[in-house]
């Protein structure tokens, strides 16, 4: 029996994009013991209940007592595992040191095209070379041969976030209360602010104009305190429509259940985009600096909207913060027109307006 430890990742989307590889791993090695480490409550919650994980652990390594939490996790983990896996993307020295300190004799991950040596990726014992043309899901599945699993020809599963029947019904009840007879459209106008990624946001003024110009739908705005300013602006700017509900007081699993009950979802490149994919809710994604090959909504109907700027999709995985060298800062997002998004929104309303009723 192989004892496997998965090193922690920060982002909700990054974590969800490991779940197809986990499903194939457990399908092919059902006797393996998989421990998945998480360092924030959100990533713990999206993995809770996943049947492909034998032991899910959470240590607040991003909190005020992060040194103590990290020490406790390492003390409980070191020397207990045969394999550690650094799923993609984990091009940071911290992840590699964590993997080394587990004392697992086989340490699996990637060789990165940028800053590979300085981030200590040479600590791993088995690596494949990062491929900029592959989705994160595919990069993770490509590590499975190191465990004796041949994924060639296998159907790669969808992202997995496991809600129970009560949670699903609560999402449906939220829809019945708010949408009435209109299509329900989820919106995420924010992003994480980590490493400058707040710059991945389509302007809040554009979201407000889109909502004002779409009279036949009810919109649900999602977000945390980090997105509070943008959401409040949109609610106030679209107040006369009476067709906007702010869902900023929900847990991440409640958010997932409501997104599941939406007809479709309009979003920036964010963790909620991947939650929508896990809920098999069609996605309209507004993509600027990120390479869409990495992160498009996996396994679900979607439309990517980008601006035709020559420098778009410049962001590649490295420890460096997101920055823009274009004289017009982040023109790749600001040049996306409301008209282009409105056109796709209208198309999606025609195609998916009764999707939930058919579930």
Contact of 315 with 114, CB cutoff 8 Å: no
164: left (phi over 0), alpha (psi -120 to 50) or beta: beta
Please state the separation of Cα 92 from the chain's center in Å: 18
CA 188, CA 201: separation in Å to the nearest integer?
9
Question: φ, ψ for residue 25 (rounded to 5)?
Answer: -60, -50
* pLDDT, tens only, 233-260: 888 888 777 788 888 889 999 999 999 9
Please state the separation of Cα 194 from the chain's center in Å: 14
Q: What is the pLDDT of residue 107?
A: 96
Least confident of 16-20, 127-131, 329-333: 329-333
The pLDDT of 176-195, averaged and rounded, is 81
- Please provide the distance, in angstroms rounded to a whole number, between the alpha carbons at the two ends of the chain: 39
The mean pLDDT of the chain is: 88
Radius of gyration of the chain (CA): 21
280 CB burial (10 A radius; 0-12, 13-18, 19+): middle
CA 69, CA 292: separation in Å to the nearest integer?
35
Start and end residues for every CATH 3.40.50.2000 domain found in the chain: 3-147, 165-358
Q: Which residues pair with 5 in a beta bridge?
A: 35, 84
* Residue carrying the six token digits 């020809």: 153
Q: What is the pLDDT of residue 267?
A: 95
260 CB burial (10 A radius; 0-12, 13-18, 19+): buried
Query: SS3 of 305, please?
Result: strand
Q: What is the pLDDT of residue 312?
A: 61
| Strand positions, DSSP E, 273-340 | 283-286, 302-305
Q: What is the pLDDT of residue 64?
A: 67
pTM: 0.92
Q: Is the pLDDT of residue 193 over 90?
A: no
pLDDT category at 101 given cuts 50, 70, 90 is confident
Half-sphere exposure at residue 51, Cβ-oriented, CA atoms within 13 angstroms: 7
* pLDDT, tens only, 150-179: 988 889 999 999 999 999 999 999 998 887
Say which residue, 208 or 70, is predicted with more confidence.
208
Is 3-147 CATH 3.40.50.2000? yes
Decide which of 2.40.40.20, 3.50.50.60, 3.40.50.2000, 3.20.20.70 is the CATH code for 165-358. 3.40.50.2000
């Amino acid at each position: 029996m192989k004892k496997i430890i998965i090193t922690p990742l920060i982002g909700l989307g990054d974590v969800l994009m490991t779940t197809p590889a986990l499903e194939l791993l457990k399908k092919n090695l059902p006797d393996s013991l998989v421990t998945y480490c998480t360092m924030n409550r959100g990533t713990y919650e999206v993995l809770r209940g996943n049947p492909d994980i034998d032991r899910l652990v959470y240590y607040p390594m991003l909190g005020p007592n992060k040194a103590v939490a990290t020490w406790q996790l390492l003390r409980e983990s070191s020397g207990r595992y045969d394999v550690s896996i650094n799923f993609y993307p984990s091009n940071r020295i911290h992840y590699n040191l964590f993997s080394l300190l587990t004392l697992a004799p086989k340490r699996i991950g990637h060789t990165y095209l940028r800053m590979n040596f300085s981030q200590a990726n040479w600590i791993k014992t088995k690596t494949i070379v990062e491929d900029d043309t592959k989705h994160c899901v595919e990069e993770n599945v490509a590590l499975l041969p190191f465990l004796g699993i041949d994924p060639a020809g296998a159907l790669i599963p969808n992202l997995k976030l496991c809600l129970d029947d009560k949670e699903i019904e609560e999402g449906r009840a939220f829809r019945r209360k708010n949408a009435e007879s209109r299509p329900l459209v989820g919106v995420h106008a924010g992003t994480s602010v980590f490493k400058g990624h707040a710059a991945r946001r389509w302007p809040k003024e554009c979201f407000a104009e889109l909502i004002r110009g779409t009279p036949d739908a009810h919109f649900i705005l999602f977000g945390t305190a980090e997105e509070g300013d943008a959401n409040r602006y949109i609610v106030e700017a679209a107040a006369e429509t009476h067709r906007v509900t702010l869902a900023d007081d929900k847990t991440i699993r409640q958010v997932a259940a409501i997104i599941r009950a939406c007809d479709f979802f309009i979003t920036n490149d964010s963790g909620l985009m991947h939650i929508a994919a896990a809920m098999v809710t069609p996605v309209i994604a507004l993509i600027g600096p990120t390479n869409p090959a990495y992160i498009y909504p996996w396994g679900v109907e979607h439309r990517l909207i980008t601006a035709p700027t020559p420098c778009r999709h410049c962001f590649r995985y490295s420890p460096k913060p997101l920055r823009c060298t274009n004289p017009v800062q982040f023109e790749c997002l600001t040049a996306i027109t409301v008209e282009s998004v409105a056109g796709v929104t209208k198309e999606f309303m025609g195609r998916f307006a009764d999707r939930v009723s058919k579930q």
